[in-house]
Amino acid sequence: MANRDIRIILAGPRGKMGASARNLIANTAHFSLVACLDHKPATETHFSEGEVPVYTDAAHCFSEVEADVLIDLTTPRAAKNHLETALDHHLRPVVGTTGFTDDEIEQLREKAETKSLGAMIVPNFAIGAVLMMKFSQMAARFFDDVEIIERHHDRKLDAPSGTALKTANLISGVRAEKKQGHPDESETLEGARGGQVEGIPIHSVRLPGLVAHQEVVFGGSGQTLMIRHDSIDRGSFMPGVKLAVETVMTTKTLVYGLEQIIE
């Protein structure tokens, strides 16, 4: 695939992730940025004027610009619309936002397969975070009790994070649901024990100064095991973005999560 120039439309180019993605595209020989999709018109942007066109309407953009891949780094609501619209215009979407339900993912997968197009929804582009999820799934075969603590910057819109939900789902696949803690446990403050996924508590922290961090804590007789990943800079996500873009060019279905393509 390195011998083929991949033409990319970037949605959400002005955010911190968008800036990192623009840098990735500029410094990858076989990537080229052909357009941006933003909620502000080109006259209000400062990054791409005179370089690539900036559109505010997805259908208009995808109809006018010849491209191979859409990288979407927007919000859950916008990303859902962009993903479907991209498939309608024979464009392969790589979506880096969360908030899709299982039913929505299945419907989008069917649509991608009908059109023989690759698509990816990636809760976390950091390779280390993907390995954390895989290691947690492995550990869950030997530890019945586990809790997840995820920490993100205070501008994040959804809680818990897609990575935490994905981790809990992977663990649930190898672990029977159980009620953890004391059988008569009660919350004197609602939510103190976190949200529950198949009996797994998830705790969300939102603070300025954080980027993306997650700790999976297992407990057993006389021992604990902690598996932790920290993204301290958004550059940590770019190798995963590059891998997703290259992979989506060769698949003909929707893939949910980088763990599906990392052996």
The response to whether 134 counts as a known ligand-binding position is no
Please check if 60 is assigned to a binding site: no
97 marked as part of a ligand binding site: yes
| Beta-sheet pairing, 31-37 with 54-55 | parallel
H-helix or E-strand containing 70? Answer: strand 69-72
CA-wise closest residue to 117 among 79, 66, 83, 75: 83
- List the structure tokens of 206: 């939102």
Residue 124 known to bind ligand: yes
Check the annotation: does 17 bind a ligand. Answer: yes
Picking from 247, 256, 199, 233, the residue whose alpha carbon sits closest to that of residue 20 is: 233
- 160 labelled binding-site residue: no
115, 134, 156, 242: which is the annotated catalytic residue?
A: 156
Residue 250 among known ligand-binding residues: no
156 is catalytic: yes
Q: For residue 86, which of 67, 103, 62, 117 has the smallest C-alpha distance?
A: 62
134 catalytic residue (yes or no)? no
Of 152, 166, 203, 213, which is the active-site residue? 152
Binding residues for (S)-2,3,4,5-tetrahydrodipicolinate: 153, 162-163
Binding site feature residues: 12-17, 40, 96-98, 122-125, 153, 162-163
Catalytic residues: 152, 156
Residue ranges at the known binding site for NAD(+): 12-17, 96-98, 122-125
